[in-house]
Amino acid sequence: MGKIRPIKKYSYYQKTSHGGFIATKPNYAIGWGRKYSIFHYPFITACCGMEYMSAACAHWDFDRFGVGMTTFSPRQSDLLFVVGTITHKEAPVLKTVYEQMVEPKWVIACGACAVSGGIYDNYAVVQGIDKIIPVDVYIPGCPPRPETILNALLKLQDKIQHQKQDLRWNIIKK
Amino acid sequence: MEHNQKIKEILIEKFKEKVLSVKTDLGDAVVQVEKDAVEEVLEFLKKKPQDYSMLLDLTCVDYTGKKPRFEIVYHVFSLSKNHRLRIKCGVSEKDPEIDSVSGLWRNANWLEREVYDMFGIRFKGHPDLRRLFMYDGFEGYPLRKDYPLRKRQPKIKLRK
């Protein structure tokens, strides 16, 4: 109790007697802001949706990680949560939803069906949504446990933090 | 059980040679009828006093190699007797056409569309015979045994 953790060698945070200041890089700071303000759009088509609901609601509550805001408009979302089986008939809808989202945007494929088609190796089902849209994080499982979904969100946050940020307004000179 | 016996006798008496065979399978009476008599038989069954007023299911089986190749199966149910009955009817591959029963039961409309979509069997007199599950431009009938197992018909261009 009460122990002050030693400042890491390359930490971005410094504390002085006058108050605090942060030394950081724009790329890192923007990534930090983006990873804690993910608005997600749930594209739920199948039974994995139950696991998504339990992960999103109070018991597991992925709002703890800053992914809590559910939007039902793709135009106001950053993360497309594809949960469940995608058929060839539905593929154009998924593609349209993805194209309506504004940059920067990320995609999570949740569950075996979205990742690879799962057990449905047949005429109707798309064998993995990466055949239609690019995917950032894949969640295996049939269905995945809520812990797996939480882990995937942490992985995505890690990716957002460390990726090269997409800055269309070009405030960083190369 | 007595309903099984009774309905078999009634049908044989009424339709004679149109009833090809009767048996009891898994506790339910199964009646095989001629293709051209199927609408007549079902109408007769729906009316009182038989009162099989509910169509539980209408589906198709593909027996590749046998003749006739397809078999349409009707499951009907009597609420007043609490009794189920199965009517079967063979349909050949060359002429996959059978009378529609969508005039008798409203739910037969979509069930017949499903059978048309998956097996390519046309229903004469159906008000709106279109595909139900698969999309426009889909070729072939996916639940036929000779549909290629790995054949895919994507609606949009796939990546990579």
Beginning with the edge strand found earlier in the chain, give each strand of the sheet holding A69-70 in spatial order: A69-70, A39-44, A79-83, A106-110, A137-139
The answer to whether the Cβ–Cβ distance between B135 and A88 falls below 8 Å is yes
Q: How much is the pLDDT for A13?
A: 57
CA-to-CA separations, A24 to A11, A13, A28, in angstroms, rounded: 9, 8, 7
Give the integer Cα–Cα distance in Å for A35 and A67: 8
What tokens does A48 get?
Answer: 């994995």
B140, part of any domain: no
Q: How much is the pLDDT for A18?
A: 65
Q: 3-class DSSP state for residue A169?
A: coil
B44 touching A, CB under 8 A? Answer: no
Give me the residues of B, 114-153, that contact A with CB < 8 A. 133-135, 142, 147, 149, 151-153
Q: How much is the pLDDT for A8?
A: 54
What tokens does B34 get?
Answer: 């001629």
Q: What is the domain count for chain B?
A: 1
Q: How much is the pLDDT for A20?
A: 66
Percentage above 70 pLDDT, chain A: 84
pLDDT tens across A34-78, in order?
999 999 999 999 999 999 999 998 899 888 888 878 899 999 999
How close does chain B come to A130, measured CA to CA in Å? 7
Residue in B closest to A121 by C-alpha: B150
Q: How much is the pLDDT for A125?
A: 93
The answer to whether the Cβ–Cβ distance between A131 and B160 falls below 8 Å is yes
User: Do β-strands B83-91 and B70-78 pair in parallel, antiparallel, or remain unpaired?
Assistant: antiparallel
Return the number of other C-beta atoms located less than 10 Å from residue A118's C-beta: 21
Return the number of other C-beta atoms located less than 10 Å from residue B120's C-beta: 17
pLDDT over threshold 60, residue A174: no
pLDDT tens across B53-86, in order?
999 999 999 999 998 999 999 999 999 999 999 9
List the one residue out of B106, B5, B118, B135 whose CA is nearest residue B46.
B106
Q: 3-class DSSP state for residue B20?
A: strand
The domains found in chain A, sorted by start residue, are: 39-161 (3.40.50.12280)
Q: Are B12 and B22 in contact, with CB atoms under 8 Å apart?
A: yes
B23, part of any domain: yes
Q: Are A148 and A140 in contact, with CB atoms under 8 Å apart?
A: yes
Q: How much is the pLDDT for B74?
A: 95
The answer to whether the Cβ–Cβ distance between A88 and B152 falls below 8 Å is yes
Model-level pTM? 0.83
- A104 preceded by cis ω (within 30°)? yes
B131, part of any domain: no
Cβ neighbours of B155 in A, within 8 Å: 88-89, 91-92
- Domain at B18, CATH number: 3.30.460.80
What number of C-beta contacts closer than 8 Å exist between A and B?
38
Q: How much is the pLDDT for B48?
A: 85
pLDDT tens across A111-164, in order?
999 999 999 999 999 999 999 999 999 999 999 999 999 999 999 999 999 888
Range of the domain at B40: 2-94
List the one residue out of A45, A43, A41 whose CA is nearest residue A76.
A41
3-state helix/strand/coil string of A92-152: HHHHHHHHHCCCCCEEEEECHHHHHCCCCCCCCECCCHHHCCCCCEEECCCCCCHHHHHHH
pLDDT over threshold 80, residue A1: no
B133, part of any domain: no
Mean pLDDT of B4-24: 90
B72, part of any domain: yes
B65, part of any domain: yes
Q: Are B60 and B121 in contact, with CB atoms under 8 Å apart?
A: yes
Q: 3-class DSSP state for residue A90?
A: coil
B75, part of any domain: yes
B159, part of any domain: no
Q: Is the ipTM of this complex over 0.90?
A: no
